[in-house]
């Protein structure tokens, strides 16, 4: 299917688009950026501008200049009004599939965002972070650079995250502290009550081994996290 691009949008040199994407009014996409299929990019969204780094040359992407490492985006993501995603400094900034970035949310340079991640309005992720699949970052929360946000983690409103967040834990406050387990997230991934309790014990450190009966997709994520 053809892409639907509003005439006021700016599509710079080096931007590659798949199919069935919607690019809204006054959106700015600068290269090198590669975008997959079926994405919805709202009014005023900005993707691919130079990293906020004092040592980086700020290229003029809307005049044809390109950053070195750029942005790579997968499929079926929804980027609401005025989100921003910066180009990388030594690798591409990456967003996976089926993510939902709400208004004014921000992804900094060199960040890797996996699949099914949600950023609430004005959530901000600083550079060099890895946000794992199914993580949910609350409204106005801020994530310090060079941090892993574990799969299924739930970060509360206005939290200031300064250290690694374990899988499926819920953190709140400034500085952010763990206050429980994201049991709703576990349930949505196919865990029954008994499995939720067992996985909760595991992610909080009470069990040394992953319990039996965990759905394959969830087990794979937790094993990958442990091996990182």
Which positions are annotated as active-site residues? 109-110, 127
Could you tell me the two tokens for 215? 């759905």
Q: Which residue in 100, 102, 70 sits closest to 87, CA to CA?
A: 70
Could you tell me the two tokens for 204? 């909080």
In the block, residue with structure tokens 């340079």:
109
First to last CA, the chain: 38
Collapsing DSSP to helix, strand or coil, 95 comes out as strand
Could you tell me the two tokens for 21? 């994407």
Number of alpha carbons in the 13 Å side-chain half-sphere of residue 193: 0
Pairing status of strand 169-172 against strand 148-149: unpaired
Residue 70 to residue 85: CA distance in whole angstroms = 10
Could you tell me the two tokens for 42? 């709202």
Q: Which residue in 99, 18, 221, 21 sits closest to 111, CA to CA?
A: 99
Could you tell me the two tokens for 79? 């980027």
């Amino acid at each position: 299917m053809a892409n639907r691009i509003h005439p006021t949008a700016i599509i710079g040199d080096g931007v590659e688009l798949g199919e069935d994407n919607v690019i809204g009014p006054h959106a700015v996409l600068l290269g090198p950026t590669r975008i997959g299929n079926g994405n919805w990019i709202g009014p005023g969204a900005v993707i691919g501008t130079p990293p906020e780094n004092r040592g980086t040359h700020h290229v003029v992407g809307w005049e044809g200049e390109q950053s070195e490492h750029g942005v790579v985006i997968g499929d079926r993501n929804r980027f609401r009004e005025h989100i921003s995603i910066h180009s990388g400094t030594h690798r591409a900034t990456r967003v996976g599939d089926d993510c939902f970035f709400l208004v004014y949310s921000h992804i900094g340079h060199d960040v890797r965002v996996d699949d099914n991640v949600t950023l609430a309005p004005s959530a901000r992720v600083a550079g060099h972070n890895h946000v794992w699949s199914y993580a949910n970052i609350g409204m106005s929360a801020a994530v310090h650079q060079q941090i892993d946000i574990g799969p299924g983690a739930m970060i509360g409103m206005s939290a200031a995250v300064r250290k690694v967040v374990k899988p499926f834990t819920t953190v709140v406050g400034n500085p952010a502290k763990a206050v429980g387990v994201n049991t709703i997230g576990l349930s949505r991934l196919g865990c029954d009550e008994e499995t939720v309790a067992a996985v909760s014990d595991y992610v909080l450190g009470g069990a040394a081994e992953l319990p039996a009966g965990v759905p394959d997709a969830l087990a794979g994520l937790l094993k990958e996290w442990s091996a990182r």
